[in-house]
Structure 1
Amino acid sequence: MAKTFVQDGKSLPWTNGTGSDLSSGDPVVIGEQIGILAVDIANGASGTVYMEGVFTVPKVSAAEIGQGESVIWDASEGAFEDSLATPATGDVSGCCAAWAAAAAGTTTVQVKLNVGVGTVA
């Protein structure tokens, strides 16, 4: 193994500075990336965030998302939106792709985290 190896990069230690306590499974924005909390993390505390994998996450109910479609994290809704949405300030584009289709009227979607490709509006 290389002398410069740090870790496999599938998870990240993170300190919650959001002002709110967060729960395991919650999506969080870290820089231009989306991660999923592995554990509950109180405001000011540290914990592990998954940066790779497939997760069931909140979806804007009106959004219709196709399998493989790039999705947008809608910061104001706290949920993912389809690729036709216009990103607003704080939204993250290109951070995830739909693992499975999700019809309008549903409130969750399975997404695969895309490491290193997010863009914050």
Structure 2
Amino acid sequence: MKNYVQPGNCVTIPAAAVTASGDVVVAGSLVGIAAGSGAIGDPLDVEIGGVYDLPKVSALAIGIGDKVYFDPLTKLVNKTSASNSYLGVAIAAAANPSATARVRLNSSF
């Protein structure tokens, strides 16, 4: 195919903020994990599939298969959809209290 560009598992976008490797990145409907670090405007590789351990609200129990969301203000995973970006689903239980949730990213928008 003449118009094929790439598989799309990792995309490169301009960093909207100072970003560290492993940070959750939200750009409109695109949600993924920074594969490297970057300053504002730098090209930033963003993984949009896979499974990641991400920081969560400590006082929250998450079950296997629960939908999880990212709160851009607290930079934590939670189960609240209002004002948050959909990340994917939990693939392991996370107790209350605990620091992280194991999340399979939703790679389709």
TM-score (norm 1): 0.82
1:57-72 aligned at under 5 Å gives the runs 57-72=54-69
- Counterpart of 1:56 in structure 2 is 53
RMSD of the TM alignment (CA)?
Answer: 1.4
1:25–1:86 distance in 2 versus 1, CA, 3 Å: closer
Which structure 1 segments of 5+ residues have no match? none
User: Secondary structure of the equivalent of 1:44?
Assistant: coil
Q: Is the partner of 1:65 in helix, strand or coil?
A: coil
CA distance in 2, matches of 1:96, 1:61: 18
Identity %: 34
Instruction: Find out whether 1:101 has 2:93 as its counterpart.
Output: yes
In the alignment, residue 31 of structure 1 is paired with which amino acid? G
Structure 2 residue 33 is matched with structure 1 residue 6? no
Instruction: Give the conservation status (yes or no) of the 8 Å contact 1:74–1:87.
Output: no
1:87 aligns with 2:86: no
Report the TM-score when normalising by structure 2.
Answer: 0.90
Structure 1 residue runs of 4+, over 6 Å off? none
Q: How many residue pairs align between the two structures?
A: 109
